[in-house]
Amino acid sequence: MTSLREITKDQVEDAVGGVSGYARRGLATAMRSLFRALKRERVIFRNLARDLPVGDIKGIPKSIPSDLLMGLLDQATTPLGRLVVALAAVHALPGKESQTLHTTGLDLSRGTLEVRRGLLRHTLYLEELTHQLAADWTTYRHHRWPASSNPHLLVSQKSAVDPDHPAVSIGTLSGALPRGLTLSGLRQDRILHEAAESADPLRLMRLFGITEQTAMRYVSAAHPERTAKLPR
């Protein structure tokens, strides 16, 4: 390619097709501004990014490539990171719910973890892996900050000793993940996998606390052959 005029619309869409969330919105916004400026300066004839969606394309859930999912726990270098990975990738907890987990909600003897959803409470039944990671984290937390009175289960070096007892920031939780992964991406992949296995929107609603519309979106994405003929 020797000229910007040779760029096609498919290439513009492909450029943002591999990213999602804030990264995609930032890239799409930048490309729209760039192409608008190029057309204004008459460097190109057509603004191919004019109608480029800023949000995720079509809102269809996408799974995480298998090569990124392999060895996630080995890539997470801290007890916090490994537990955050399990909560998102196994139990599909959103970041905001992970932030509000309380130490009193974790019962290792019963293998349960209480999640606060507004005025409601949802109980997670921990499988062996998440149970062990939760135990590792509580042991680490006690040794690292034995005097901490922060009631939140997940804490950082700053929030653990803050007298105001704040919740850990989303940035801290995201920063604990292996590079290239996001909390929303791991959660989305988990729900999509469950949708592929069961194709039952009611099960998705019970397991992950999502709405009927969201559950149907995941079922449609996992089984397009079953939903293509449904009335819109």
What is the C-alpha R_g of the chain? 21
pTM: 0.69
Of 102, 107, 73, 78, whose CA–CA distance to 88 is shortest? Answer: 73
DSSP letter for 172, please.
H
Q: What is the pLDDT of residue 57?
A: 43
Q: What is the pLDDT of residue 161?
A: 93
pLDDT beneath 50: ranges in the chain: 56-58, 232
Beta bridge partners of 113: 106, 124
DSSP letter for 228, please.
T
Q: What is the pLDDT of residue 55?
A: 53
50: tokens are 């004019």
Cβ neighbors of 112 (< 8 A, separation 6 or more) are: 106, 123, 124, 125, 126
Q: Is 194 exposed, middle or buried (0-12, 13-18, 19+ CB in 10 A)?
A: buried
Q: What is the pLDDT of residue 48?
A: 76
Render pLDDT for 55-108 as a digit per residue (tens, 0 to 9). Answer: 544 455 566 665 666 678 888 889 999 999 999 998 999 999 999 999 999 999
Q: Rounded to whole angstroms, how far apart are CA atoms 187 and 185?
A: 5
163: tokens are 């007298």
131: tokens are 């149970």
Q: What is the pLDDT of residue 13?
A: 74
Q: Is 68 exposed, middle or buried (0-12, 13-18, 19+ CB in 10 A)?
A: middle
Q: What is the pLDDT of residue 210?
A: 86
Residue 122: strand, helix, or coil: strand
